[in-house]
Amino acid sequence: MDSKLDRIITKLDKIENHLSSVDITLESQRKDLEHHIFRTDLSEENLEMLRNEFKETIKALKSELRPVKAHVAFMDAALKIIGGIATVATFLGGAYKFFF
C-alpha cells in the first residue's frame, strides 16, 4: 500500500511542477500581451494623428489649387473662343475668295 501511496505522491509532485511551469509561462505571456496592447494603443494613436495631418494637408492643397483650377478654366474658355473666332475667320475668308 505504501508503494501505491508513494507513486501517487510522486505523480502529484510531477503535476504540481508542471502546473508551476504553466504558471510561469502564463505570467510571461501576460507580460508580453500587456506590452503588445501598449504598442498597439500607441500605433493607433499615431495612425489617428497621421490621418488628421493628412486631412489638413489635403484641405491646404485643395485651397492652394483653387487659383490654378480657375486659371485652367479661364484658359480653356479663352482657347475655345479663339478657336471659334479662327473658325469663323477661316470660313469668312474662304467664302470671300469663293465669291469674289
Q: What is the pLDDT along the chain (100 residues), one digit of tens a residue?
A: 678 888 888 988 888 888 888 888 999 999 999 999 999 999 999 999 999 999 999 999 999 999 999 999 999 999 999 999 999 999 999 998 888 7
List the grid coordinates of 34. 500587456
Geometric angle at alpha carbon 45, from 40 and 47, rounded to 5°: 90
- The Cα–Cα gap between 85 and 77 comes to 12
Q: What was the pLDDT predicted at 17?
A: 86
Q: What was the pLDDT predicted at 37?
A: 98
